Amino acid sequence: MRQLIVRRLLQTLPMLFFVSVVCFTMIKLAPGDPVLSFVTPNMHADDIERIRHNLGLDKPAYIQYFIWIKEMVQGNFGYSLINHQPVLGQILERLPATAGLMGSAIALAVILAIPLGLVAGANRNRWADKLINFISYVGISIPLFWLAILLMYLFAIKLHLLPSMGMRTIGVESPLDVLKHGILPCSVLAFGFLAGYVRYIRSSTIGQLKEEYVQIQYAFGSKKSTILFRHVMKHVLLPVITLLGMSMGDLVAGAIVTETVFSWPGIGSLGMTAVKGMDYPVIMGITLFSSLMLILGNMVADILYSFVDPRIKLKG
C-alpha cells in the first residue's frame, strides 16, 4: 500500500507540470493585463512601463513561466501582482475556510443522499420516488448563486434565523458562531451535489433490488427496511466513494460561486478576485492547489475502495 501511495504521489508531479503549462498558456492567451489594476487616468505612460518592468511583465511569456517554475520548485509560489502578498500565505490563510465548507457540504450531501436515494429506489414510480426525483431535478437545474440568494432572503431577511454573509460576526471568535454562519453556504453547496448523488444511489438501488441475495432475504422473511438499509446499502455505497473522488473538481467550482455570494473567505473567492485582476501568480497557485486536491481526492477514493471491498486490489 505504501509503495502504491508513493508511486501515485510521484505520478502527480508530471500531471501538475502539465496543468501548470496549460494554465499559464491560457492566462497569457486571455485578453487583459494585470497592470491595468494600477492604471489611473493621470498616470504617466513611463510610470505604467516602470510598474510593468518591476513586476517582470515586460519579459517574454516563456521566460516568465520559467522564472515562476524555478521559484515553485524552491517552494516559492510567488507574490500576488495586485497586493504583493505571498501567494502561498494567502492560500494557506484561506484554506481552512474552504476545507471546512467543502468537507461539511460533501458530508451533508452524503448524509442526505443515502436515505433519499435508497427510499426512491425502493419505491420506484411511487409518490416518494416522484417527490425525491422532483427535488433532484430542481437541484440539478437550479443555479447555485440563485439558490444562495433565495435562501439568504428567506432565512436571513424574512425569518431572521441566520446571518446572511461572512464566516463570523464581526470581532467574535466562536466555533458556534462560525457554525451558524456556515449553515447557508454549506447547504447551498451540498444541494448541488445532493441531486447527483441521490439519482446515482437510486439507480444503483433499483439494480441491487433485482439481485439474487435480495430475493433470498425476502424468502427468509426479512423486512423491506432491513434488507434495504442492512444489505442493499453496503453494495450501493461502494461506487459512491468513487463518485466522491470525482466530485472534487465540481466541488471547487461550486465553492467559487458559493464563497463569492456568501462572502466566505476561502480560496474560491480569492480565485475569483485573481481572475478579475489577471493576477497570474495567484491563479496559478490556486489552480495547482485545486489540481492536487483533485488528484489526491481520487487517490484517497481508490484506497478507501480497497478497504471497503478487499476483493479489489489496487495496482499503481
Partner 1 sequence: MRKGISGVVILVLLTLMISACSNGNNAASTNAGASQTPAETQQPAASEPKDGGSLIIGVASDPVVLNPNYAGDRVSLTIDQALYAPLFQVNNGEKTFYLAESLTPSEDNLTYTLKLKDGLTWHDGEKLTADDIVFTIDSILDEKQNSFLRANFLIGDKAIKAVKVDDLTVEFQLPQVSPAFEATLVQVFPIPKHIFENETDIEKSTKNASPVGSGPFKFKEYKAGEYLTLERFDNYFGGKPHLDSVTYRIAKDTNAANLALQNGEINVQYLDPKDVATIQATNNFEILPYSEGRLAYLMFNANSDTGALAKKEVRQALSLALSRDELIQTAYTSSEYADPAKSFLTPDALYFTNEVTSFDNDAAKAKELLASAGESNLKLRYIVQSGNKAQEAISLYVQQKLKAVGVEVELQNMDSSAWVQKFIDLKSTDYELALTGYIMGYDPDAYRILFTTDSSSNYSHYSNSEVDKLMNDGAGEADPAKRAEIYKKAQELVAEDAPIYPIAYTKTVVAVSKNYGGIDEAVLKPVVIFEDLSKIYQK
Residues 5-24 that bind partner 1 (CB under 8 A): none
Cell of 303: 484506497
* Phi, psi at 79, each rounded to 5°: -120, 145
Please report, as residue ranges, which positions from 95 to 154 form the binding site for partner 1 (by CB under 8 A). 96-97, 99-104, 107-108, 110-111, 114, 145, 148-149, 152-153
Q: Which is nearer to partner 1, 133 or 264 (CB)?
A: 264
282 binds partner 1 (CB under 8 A): no
Among 5, 23, 59, 166, binds partner 1 (CB under 8 A): 166
Closest to 295 in 3D by CA, of 2, 15, 7: 15
The C-alpha angle with vertex 19 and arms to 16 and 21, in degrees rounded to 5, equals: 110
Please report, as residue ranges, which positions from 287 to 316 form the binding site for partner 1 (by CB under 8 A). none
Stretch that binds partner 1, among 13-21, 200-208, 241-249, 273-281 (CB under 8 A): 273-281
For cell 447551498, name the residue.
188
CA distances from 59 to 33, 54, 67 (A): 14, 10, 10
- Rounded to a whole number of angstroms, the minimum distance from the CB of residue 207 to partner 1 is 19
Stretch that binds partner 1, among 44-52, 240-248, 288-296, 297-305 (CB under 8 A): 44-52
User: Exposure string (b/e) for 117-145, b if CB count within 10 Å is 16 or more?
Assistant: bbbbbbbeeeeebeebbebbeebeeeebe
Q: Which is nearer to partner 1, 159 or 219 (CB)?
A: 159
CA distances from 223 to 113, 207, 218, 230, 287 (A): 22, 19, 7, 10, 49
Please report, as residue ranges, which positions from 234 to 263 form the binding site for partner 1 (by CB under 8 A). 234, 260-263
DSSP bridge partners of 79: 86
Amino acid letter for position 168: R
Among 73, 173, 220, 311, binds partner 1 (CB under 8 A): 173
DSSP at 158 = I
Q: Which is nearer to partner 1, 96 or 316 (CB)?
A: 96
Q: Which is nearer to partner 1, 11 or 169 (CB)?
A: 169
Please report, as residue ranges, which positions from 205 to 234 form the binding site for partner 1 (by CB under 8 A). 229-230, 233-234
280 binds partner 1 (CB under 8 A): no
- Rounded to a whole number of angstroms, the minimum distance from the CB of residue 184 to partner 1 is 10
CA distances from 88 to 51, 71, 206, 256, 315 (A): 23, 12, 47, 18, 33
27 binds partner 1 (CB under 8 A): no
Q: Per DSSP, which regions of the chain are E strands?
A: none
60 binds partner 1 (CB under 8 A): no
Q: Which is nearer to partner 1, 26 or 111 (CB)?
A: 111
- Rounded to a whole number of angstroms, the minimum distance from the CB of residue 216 to partner 1 is 20
